[in-house]
Chain A
């Protein structure tokens, strides 16, 4: 299990600092134009940065567990799509500009871990409230009408709550005036980035209203964290008209102390998850996006509550990975085609995606890394000879596969090691 943290590091090192990838990232991406792609669907290995993520969902059954109104546990190994599914779930809550949807709150354990060991529920709630304030502020920033429709008394309470919990709020309000909530989300928590811009006139009105409340003397708040959490969720589900609160917990495997010991990680989470079934009455649903290794440890500690959780393990096979690539191609070409073989010199009968899926360790990130390398090889070859045919050639694929087998070998070995337990 010690390998766990190592693998995260090595994946990052391998992916982001690999020279060819760096060159690729600064290349012009002629292939986008050559192949008629509207955007690069393989660009982002980090899900929150991908504005099109919700166009290529694979495995609706898995998503339906995350989406349903019950506490849920979603397990996967690193690189298995936990974060992508969490971001997907959060964005699904916001399709339709804040209708009667669930309200998503991200809770990143490692992000807050330094501040405590989370042996009590209160320590978790402290951090959840903190993230909730980010969630609320950004919800108002992206959809000002949610705030502006609220009665003035509620507006004032919400504003003062935000000011209390977000230091330097006047700085963020200034940034918000530029009309780009994405910039604020990037600083507070990238998971909240929705990659869209609000209506300028409503945003301006929001800023004015918040600034008005900021100038007023704040009412002192002296409530327990439990009461603050209750008040906050009541605002969301009753006063602001959201259907539910979805607490989306992730990042358990992103912090060394937790990653090294799944037992310790389970212990850190047990008080939080033990409360999840009782929260359902308040329409608060905790969704844990957790590493696979934690499952048995958590189950042992939550015997009584265990049946209350919807559960699923994110599993990937060749067919799903091939589909993952196809869906991305389809979305990026507005459905013109759904396979890279459409723009390759391979015969149309050859299932290129399936062959690529068979060549990689069966995790989404691995499939994306290989496809990026194929496009890099194409770009490199075309850059050397711009008269060459604008099609992916067999040699591009072969070079990328050779690179994957050698440069990615240590990563694959570590992933396999984790899978073997």
Chain B
């Protein structure tokens, strides 16, 4: 599986589209004289544009549209070795964590302290640094101080724990200190009341019209139609640029799938991608289904469902929802188009295995009360098989291992 990486464009204010509503909400909040809530949490799947929004706020909105603001952008999780949304030149008051890097709280504080030219006692300890920042913010009541923590949920939670324990809980008690957090997947369980009661909104996907506008602003003339780009990328702006450069749908799907897994460390990317491909036919799964589907896909013996789920979980491309693991929407959407095109036999095998698994559960008398649920799932897989030309799910081939077992 050869990966083709074409770097995504770094942030450019001229190419930024939409998000007026979210930006308006943030500006309104910053302009309040006694804001009760001073934290905003922005949630969204990979590729929806959280980092671009963070950069737009940091470099454009907070500089041009509102006065007296000091802001910092910390992007806490790398989007992969091939993409630098911040561009090549480091900018002041910004820190982008690269793959394999670990940001320590002391460095975090030093960036803030340095930017405010705060003088510290000799050899300051952590509490003294925090206290110095706090006193500075407290003594500049007419200013606003905004901390943007991008990709926080995906990041190392031990840093978040330190930040909330030593810094955020303290600074957020001040009326002129604000925090904007972006993240996807599993939300961090905050302890700080100000973050628990934060304003929350999700970033929505782009419409077909906005994809058109995006193509125009990026000066791209695509081989695929806008509707095709929309169908593959499902309105997630990260994909538009790449899909527009593809020669045809097949290449577009290849590229989109590569982009999805760019966030996974290179040494295990191919393997983990296989797990996702194996599980994409399912709406949700547990350890049993993970083991079954990966075994069916790879056709090579017993799999440990727990470690599969754990590995997939580490990518933050799945999360626990509705009592099961679910893939992020763009991941599932793209893989469900990619896999039947790339490996139709595997696609059929996987649906067959899923059909039979749910059939067994539907027939299990101890699970009788869930029978209609399992029957519904069987129907979905039968439909997918029918579309692939298989009329009877009982006759289609499954993996060797499955055959042997049965």
**Residues of A near any B CB (own CB < 8 A):** 36, 54-57, 60, 63-64, 67, 91-92, 94-101, 143-145, 149, 196, 198-199, 201-202, 243, 327, 330-331, 334-339, 341-343, 345, 347-351, 390-391, 394
**Residues of B near any A CB (own CB < 8 A):** 125-128, 130-131, 134, 138, 153, 157, 164-174, 185-189, 191-193, 196-197, 284-289, 306, 309-310, 313, 319-320, 323-325, 361, 366-367, 370, 373-374
Q: How close is B278's CB to chain A, nearest CB, in angstroms?
A: 16
Q: How close is A217's CB to chain B, nearest CB, in angstroms?
A: 31
- Say yes or no: B127 contacts A350, CB within 8 Å: no
Bound CA–CA A149/B189 (angstroms): 32
- Whether A96 contacts B169 in the complex (CB less than 8 A), given A56-B189, A342-B286, comes out as yes
Bound CA–CA A96/B166 (angstroms): 5
- Say yes or no: A97 contacts B197, CB within 8 Å: no
CB < 8 Å neighbour of B191 from A95, A97, A143, A347? A95
CB < 8 Å neighbour of B174 from A92, A99, A327? A99
Secondary structure call for the B interface: helix
- Say yes or no: A330 contacts B197, CB within 8 Å: no
Bound CA–CA A67/B192 (angstroms): 12
Enumerate chain A residues within 8 angstroms of B174, measured Cβ to Cβ. 99-100
Enumerate chain A residues within 8 angstroms of B134, measured Cβ to Cβ. 99
Enumerate chain A residues within 8 angstroms of B127, measured Cβ to Cβ. 97, 143-145, 198-199, 202
- Whether A145 contacts B128 in the complex (CB less than 8 A), given A96-B164, A196-B165, A348-B324, comes out as yes
Secondary structure call for the A interface: loop
Q: List 14 A-B contacts (CB under 8 A).
A: A92-B193, A95-B164, A96-B192, A97-B127, A145-B128, A198-B127, A201-B125, A202-B128, A341-B323, A347-B367, A348-B324, A349-B324, A350-B367, A394-B366
Q: How close is B249's CB to chain A, nearest CB, in angstroms?
A: 33
- Say yes or no: B193 contacts A67, CB within 8 Å: yes
- Say yes or no: B191 contacts A348, CB within 8 Å: no
CB < 8 Å neighbour of A243 from B125, B173, B319, B323? B173
- Report which residue of A145, A339, A348 has the largest number of chain B beta carbons within 10 angstroms of its beta carbon: A348
- Say yes or no: B306 contacts A390, CB within 8 Å: yes
Enumerate chain B residues within 8 angstroms of A54, measured Cβ to Cβ. 191
Enumerate chain B residues within 8 angstroms of A36, measured Cβ to Cβ. 306, 310
Bound CA–CA A98/B187 (angstroms): 25
Bound CA–CA A94/B173 (angstroms): 11
**Apart from A97-B166, A99-B174, 16 more pairs, CB < 8 Å:** A92-B193, A95-B169, A95-B191, A96-B173, A97-B165, A99-B172, A198-B127, A330-B320, A335-B185, A335-B320, A339-B323, A342-B320, A347-B286, A348-B324, A351-B323, A394-B366
Bound CA–CA A60/B200 (angstroms): 15
Q: How close is B304's CB to chain A, nearest CB, in angstroms?
A: 10
Enumerate chain B residues within 8 angstroms of A343, measured Cβ to Cβ. 287, 306
Bound CA–CA A60/B125 (angstroms): 34
- Whether A92 contacts B173 in the complex (CB less than 8 A), given A347-B367, A348-B289, comes out as no
CB < 8 Å neighbour of A341 from B125, B130, B286, B366? B286
**Which residue of chain A has the shortest Cβ distance to B161 in the bound complex?**
A55
- Say yes or no: B313 contacts A336, CB within 8 Å: yes
Enumerate chain A residues within 8 angstroms of B313, measured Cβ to Cβ. 336-337
Q: How close is B372's CB to chain A, nearest CB, in angstroms?
A: 11
Q: How close is B287's CB to chain A, nearest CB, in angstroms?
A: 7
Q: Which 10 A-B pairs have the closest CB atoms?
A: A96-B169, A335-B186, A99-B170, A96-B170, A95-B169, A348-B286, A100-B173, A348-B324, A54-B191, A99-B173
- Say yes or no: B173 contacts A347, CB within 8 Å: no
